[in-house]
Amino acid sequence: MSRTIWILGDQLTRQHSGLALGDSRKDQVIMIESRSRASHLSYHKVKLAMGFAAMRHFADELRQSGWTVDYHELSQTPDFLSALKLHLSSKKPTGFVMMEPNNFFEREDIGKIVKKIGVEISFTPPVQFLRSREDFSAWATGKKRLLMEPHYRDMRRRLGILVDNAGEPEGGSWNLDTENRKTFSDWKRAGKPQPEVAAPFGHDNITQQVIADVEKWFPNAPGHAASLWLPVTRTQALQWLDHFIHHRIGNFGAFEDIMVADQPHLFHSVLSAPINIGLLSPLECVEAAVKAWTDGKAPLNSVEGFVRQIIGWREFVNGVYWLKMPEYAHSNSLEATRALPDFFYSGQTDMKCLRTVLKETRETAYNHHIQRLMILGNFFLLAGIDPAQALRWFSEMYVDAEEWVMAANVLGMSLHADGGFIATKPYAASAAYIAKMSNYCEGCHYRPTVKSGPAACPYNLLYWDFYNRHSKRFASNPRTSMMVNSWLKRPESDRRIVTTEAAGFLKSLENR
């Protein structure tokens, strides 16, 4: 009597709790490339290619270690249900075992599918996060607002990461952000340091076939499958991590917030995608970074900044997601309803910052976190773009996009759509921030220092128009009251010019 362990495409870890309970001598594995699931949104081809290539390589690794794998490629079955029916008729398992899905909608959909085929399924605990959903819920109980910082400190102490024997932070401070805010000018003064470029991964026969399959089955999806540039095996992912630790982490902290045209990664790790699908564990990435510090090969500010992203923010947004779903997906506290402009898919805009970032998105399915927050998310926020449409775009376009990570990042952090549940203020910024942290303004059609008129940067117009529209909401917030008061103190004639020009720009978006 055998059971079938169903492994999803973002659960490609040998620490899979279902595999741990199984017996390769009698149990079997099923893995399914669902055309229906992959068409749920118009996902970037790089995302699809990475996911399916990683799945096929993982299946091969399981076979080499003695597992029987019933693998359904794109051309074989259109959806989960069809594949499972074929599996049941040919393999006749006594039941299914699955590690808890990482996304809420998958948990619901799988429950419906299992009912249709009339078999039992047992769920095992998820292993790709360091804090369980239940533990996070207990920590959050009674709190009207959740902040990442206390969660992060708690995680550092629990895991013994960058803390001394007394549980206090190494270096004397929990947060080294003040050392991690170098500007674009600081980078230039430092000689424009750039990391050694990692050698590209070759596309073996498996990956080449995946690229052909993605182009065949998803011809209208954005991007090009052959542009796949990220690791698709455990071995490649470890090489990717090693390259970050040896060549980029040293300058990561200082320059993590700057944006440089033609340098889409700079010192960022770009580890989110392999971590999210299971090729790497979050803890091994953190431990590698901490070892670089203890070995004297990386400064504390860089290592702390990286650790904060993994055990702080990543764990936090996952906890918020499972705490607040499914209602969280419909958050829209600012009542934003504007349609997403077409140029977010075409990249055709006079705003050089958006044009530059969107070009990188279309080509690589990646931007680093400041580009996402302060260029893209900032525009969505200031322009009043419908949060559901913004969330859809982010989910479609990024190789590391999963519903659990995008929900809180987009709706909570970028758009303040959750009413400030996870952010004490909206992340709104004028052109001054972009000019300070990037070289995007050089040669732009607009000028970052111009506040109104044809040359005025739209971020300046939209910034003040945003606080005009939401003045009552943010006047009492200690972190935004100064901006509101500054706006209200301006002469009425000046305010009328700004709001009129902002309205004109927003109207123009309807045809772009």
pLDDT in tens, 432-459: 999 999 999 999 999 999 999 999 999 9
pLDDT in tens, 302-346: 999 999 999 999 999 999 999 999 999 999 999 999 999 999 999
Span 201-218, average pLDDT: 97
Look up residue 297 and give its amino acid. K
What DSSP designation does 15 have? T
Q: Among 3.30.200.20, 3.30.1490.100, 3.30.70.260, 1.25.40.80, what is the CATH number of 129-183+248-252+268-315?
A: 1.25.40.80
Alpha helices in 22-101 (DSSP H): 35-38, 45-64, 80-91
The pLDDT, as a whole number, for residue 115 is: 86
Token output for 390: 């913004």
pLDDT at 511 > cutoff 70 = no
Q: How far apart are CA 380 and CA 455, in angstroms?
A: 21
Token output for 369: 């976190």
For the chain, the structural domain boundaries read 4-124, 129-183+248-252+268-315, 343-511
pLDDT in tens, 183-209: 999 999 999 999 998 889 999 999 999
pLDDT in tens, 471-486: 999 999 999 999 999 9
The pLDDT, as a whole number, for residue 357 is: 98
Task: Assign domain 343-511 to its CATH architecture.
Answer: Orthogonal Bundle (1.10)
* Closest by CA position to 91, among listed 118, 66, 70, 64: 70
Please check whether residue 459 is in contact with residue 350, taking contact to mean a CB–CB distance below 8 angstroms: no
* Closest by CA position to 509, among listed 447, 448, 465: 465
The pLDDT, as a whole number, for residue 54 is: 98
SS3 readout for 131-148: CCHHHHHHHHCCCCCCCH
| Residue 433 CB contacts under 8 Å (≥ 6 apart), including other chains | 374
Specify the residue for token string 């200690």: 478
| Residue 282 CB contacts under 8 Å (≥ 6 apart), including other chains | 128, 129, 130, 275, 310, 311, 314, 315
Reported confidence tier of residue 418, pLDDT bands at 50, 70, 90: very high
Reported confidence tier of residue 1, pLDDT bands at 50, 70, 90: low
Q: Was domain 4-124 assigned CATH 3.90.1200.10?
A: no
Burial of residue 330, with CB atoms counted within 10 A of its CB: 0-12 exposed, 13-18 middle, 19 or more buried: exposed
Please tell me if the domain spanning 4-124 has the same topology as the one spanning 343-511: no
pLDDT in tens, 108-139: 899 899 889 888 899 999 999 999 999 999 99
Specify the residue for token string 């982010």: 394
The pLDDT, as a whole number, for residue 36 is: 95
Span 47-76, average pLDDT: 97
The pLDDT, as a whole number, for residue 111 is: 87
The pLDDT, as a whole number, for residue 393 is: 98
Token output for 115: 């009912």
pTM of the model: 0.95
The pLDDT, as a whole number, for residue 512 is: 59
